[in-house]
Every structure is written in structure tokens, then in C-alpha cells.
Structure 1
Amino acid sequence: MNTFIAIVIIFGLLVFIHEWGHLIFAKRAGILCREFAIGFGPKIFSFKKNETTYTIRLLPLGGFVRMAGEDPEMIQIKPGYEIGLKFDEQDRVTDIVVNNKSKHPDCKVIQVEKIDLEHKLFVQGYVADEEGLVTYPVHEKANFIHDEEATQIAPYDRQFPSKTIPQRAMAIFAGPMMNFALAAVILTAYALIAGLPVDEALVGDVTDDGVAIEAGLEQGDRILSIDGENVSTWEEMTTIIQGSANESLLFQVERGSETFQVEMVPDERIGPEEQVQGVVGIYPPTEFNVFGSILFGFTTTYEYTVLIVEALGMLVTGQFSLDHLAGPVGIYSYTGEVAAMGILVLMQWAAILSVNLGIINLLPLPALDGGRLMFIGLEAVRGKPIDPQKEGMVHFIGFALLMLLMLVVTWNDINKFFL
């Protein structure tokens, strides 16, 4: 249960921040954002605020911001259609009733001759008991009423394609950018809670079951030398300890004004790359510093980014296989293990996942933010946009391939963790 709660909170936060980045910068550019969704599939919960409907959907596999102009409008009115019109005090059309006009007896029924809801914003046609064509201006925020559900019209200047290349690129890039920003914030909070490591040969604390507590070491003790070799930094001290598993070491320790010696035999532990390391059960010293914590947040985010990019490079060159990738099942399992280690480790894991989500979305693959940025870049080079139908087909094929990759990775996860 704890794993499920941790997954819901972490992935909900990561997806929310990612999509919120798209939403904020799209709105700043003047784009009409029809929906802000967490998840895919059927709606579980929704509410509307201003122009945007906020929804939570059944399948927790990501999210999206539906911007006007990215897809063809679902409601199209052609000459000969009969529609109902409602007006404001300035005689501008505020509601266009597409069907079920009998439920709106106060609307004026018109047989459409011409209609423009993108540029000039008018509707022209014939009204019973009135001679000749009549023309009515349409409010820029008028609504279609179809099956008793209101959908705001999208004049061209509110659509995604009408914006400049930098505005569109920023609306797309903002999602991954916010994931990197979130990682930096999480890691800053981690440093403010846990403290920043200090590179001194001090005992920050001792574990409950290590040889250090058995030897009598306490928090604040300073290690002066090990086997006669002077040490002054945490790195110097731990290098000797890690290289001396199961070997007796003589520590000279300073505690206040007192100096004494203790003998310890570091326990054996398997470290990175299956190497045997020695441990005595002490934590590094820490300090609390707001500016240092902020710097730690940004520098560690950069380090995570470099590590993940290098891993992706190794995957492309064949040094990693698909077996090394983790899908939803694998991430769920790892998150359970991490959650058991405490909130601080879970915070680091959330930061890693956030950076990973940002990097993956920036890959120049169809259906991802990076693929959309690639098409915007091609438009900037060519001086004209790619045919929307061709671009849409490329994204559709890319999405299908990504889903196939997801199935393969998920199957590997199932084999790895359950079979």
C-alpha cells in the first residue's frame, strides 16, 4: 500500500508539473487551452475554470494539454445547416446551438449561408419571417452548444499554429523544463532537511549495528590518522576504510580536548561494480546552509542529467540492452524498495525520475515533445510549416512504436520481478 501511495504522489506530481509547464507558457502566448488532463482514457473527475477544463482520467500513463489548433475542430458547420443563435446586449452571438434546438426556445434559428469563426467572426444566413440575408457578428469567446455541452470557439489568433516559432517552441519545451526545475527544488529541499555533506574527517553519526558504535565512536569525533597515516578529509578517510575490508585498522581520534586510539576491523560490503568495500558504520558530517542547498539542488540535477544522458548513449551504442530498461512495473517495484528506505531516499528517487522524464521527452522522437520541437525547427529552416497531415501521421506512427516499446519493456519487467 505504501508503494502505491508513493507512486501516486510521485507520478502525479511529475506529470502535473510537466503539463503545467505546457499550460502556463501556452496561455502566456495567448493559446486557447481546452483541457488540462492527468492520465488518459475515460474521465474520472473534471471541473472548468475560465477557458480550461481540468480532468483526471482513468489510465495513469501521463497527461496532456489540449491546445486549440493542434487537432481539427470537432464541430464544423457548413452552408445549409440550421443552427440556433443566442446574443449578448451588443447583439453579438454568444452561443451557437448545433442540435437539440427545441431545448433552447429563446434562440434564433438561422439557415447558414456563410460562417467564419476563425478570422472575421460572423455568421450569415436566412431567418424565418425575415427577408434576405442577415449577418451577425460572433463574440470571440462564443460557445458551440452540442448535446448540451459547451465548447468555446477558437479564433485563429488563439490557435497554436498562429503563434510565432519561439512562442510555440517555448510552449512545448516548457514541459520538460519544469521537470528539471522540479528536480532542483526537490533536491534543494532534501539538502535543507538532511544537510550538506562536509568534506572533513568527522563522524557525522554512527549506525546502530556497525563496528564504529561497538568501538565507542560518537557523533563529532574527529579522525586524526589511520594506521599512522594522517587524514583531514572525509574522502581520505573513507578511501582507506573502503580498501581495508576485514583488516585491522588503528584510528587516532580527537574528542574535545582528549585524544585516544581505537582499533576497528571494517565489515565487508559489496559496492558499485561488484567491488568489495570496507565499512565501519559512520555517516558523513553535514551542515545547514540555504545558499549551499540551492546550489546543491542545481548541481546535483545537472549531474543526474549527465548520468542519464550517458546511459542513453550507451543504450544507443549497444553497451546497454533493453533488459536494462525499466517500465511501469519495474519503476513500481523500485519505488517500493526506495520508499522502505525513508523519505529522504524517496526524495532523491523522485528527483531522478523527474530528470529522466524531462530527458526522455526531449528526445527527437515522434509523439514526444522533442519530436514536436524537431518539426518546429524544420519549419524555421524551411521557412514554412510541414504539412499538418504528414506531421500528424509521423506522430501517430511514433506513438504506436513507443507503445510497442512500452509493452516490450513491461514484459521484461514482469519476467524480471515476477517470473
Structure 2
Amino acid sequence: MIFTILLGLFGLGIIIIIHELGHFVAANLSGIEVETFSVGFGKRIFGIKKNKTLYQVSLIPFGGYCKLKGDDLLRLAVQKELTKIPDEKSSFFSVHPLKRVAVAVAGPLFNLIFAFLVLTIVWWSGFYIYSPSNRIVLATDYSLDSFKSEPPATRAGLKTGDIIIGINGKPVRNFQDLLEIVSVNAGEKLNLSVKRDSRVINLFLTPELDINTGAGKIGVYSWIVPVVWKVDKSSPAQIAGVKPGDIITMVNNRKVSNVLDISTVLKKKPSKIN
């Protein structure tokens, strides 16, 4: 929990620094003197002065700021009831209004450019998306889903544990592939290549239209092996000695092979399990 908060603050800090960097670059290009560019807030830890700008690292490491010469002149003019903002050379209010607008806009603009660059790098480098395998579980075996009659998968002869490896000649690598094909083919006859035991068979079915989602459905769920990913501290599972990586094979003397098996057992007797 604490790590997640710190990570979030660190990310926010990066965004703020990029934002302030935008103001810094635009100010320099507009002839406005930057008095201080700080990474972090609070008391200065160390700094270097170069070309009238103090570059510093401050005590609180989240975010930062960019102080422009004369950015407080408006406040001083109001306090002293002046009719004109003092015109100091190289100050924020000494340049053309359009340049001041450019400095103000540069912060958000740098954030947009940074976001675009990060997303581009992530996209081109690739990222892992988890999808369950193409082994299926029949909804009718676990009293799931509400079909007016037998679901298409059951009528076609599919069985829990079957592996769907292709539909209409297109390979099915995981359950997401299966969903994508079925969802857009409501009312269309599909030819399924199914691996059962050591042989491959072909079955035909027609997905029904789900009136709630507008997508096709056939009455199957993904087969998820009951591997323990995480055990909450002081939870009944931890007290019982369950550890991450364990594979649950039996619950209350009943053999289980997928997550729905466990769910079925717990619904019947949730108070105590072995």
C-alpha cells in the first residue's frame, strides 16, 4: 500500500517536473530570466548557478518549480495600489503578452508531448496482455448464464476441458481470440476445430445474440487453473498455510481442476474447507 502511494507520488512528481520544464524552455526562448529551477520543494539541498539561473535539488523530492523573474510583480502592484506593473528588464511582465501566453501554455504542452512519447515507446517496445487459455468450460456444467434453451456450445457437443484451436480456419491462441470471433458472429454458423484428448474434431454452432451486450455468445467460460497468485495477510488462506504458487487440486475431498470447481464447492459449504 505504502509502495503504491510512493510510486504514485513519484509519477506525479515526474509530470510536474516536465510541466515546469516547459515553462523554463519557453521563458528562455521569450527572453524572460529564470531565477530558479528546482527539482523538489522545500529547503535546498544543493544547487548550481549558471547564466543567472539557480538549478537546485530540494528536500521534498516530489515535483518541482520554475521561478521566473518578476512573476510576483502583479501581486506587489496590487498590494501597493500601483496603476502600472513595474517594468523590470527580462521580467515576466516586460515581454509581449503573446510571449507570456506561450510561457503559460508551454507547461501543459510539454506534458502532452511527454505522454505521447511515453505511449509511443511503450507501444513499439510491446507489452504483455494476459488472456486465459483456449481451454473451455461449459456454462451448463456450472449453472452459469441464462439461455432460453440449451446454449449453442452444449448443443454442438462441446465438453468442459475441450481446447478450441480454430474457428472458420482462423487460429485461436487464447480465450480472448475466441471471444473476439464469437462476439461479432451472432447468428452466423461457425466451424470449430476442437482438440479433445489426443485428437482434433470439427463441430458446428451458431452464436446467439446477447440482448444486453449486442454481442454473440455460445455458453462457455475460460478454463482457469486454480493457481494461488496472492495470499492476503492474516486471511483464512494464510492461516491454513496456503502460499503463492500453490495449485489447489482438492477441496473438501472433492477433486478440482479449474477455478469454477472451487467456486461451486465454496458456494455449497463456505464455512470450512479442507
TM-score interval (norm. to shorter): 0.3 to 0.5
TM-score w.r.t. length of structure 1: 0.32
Query: Which structure carries more helix by proportion?
Result: 1
What's the TM-score, normalizing by structure 2? 0.46
Task: Identify the structure with bigger relative contact order (alpha carbons < 8 Å, sequence gap 6+).
Answer: 1
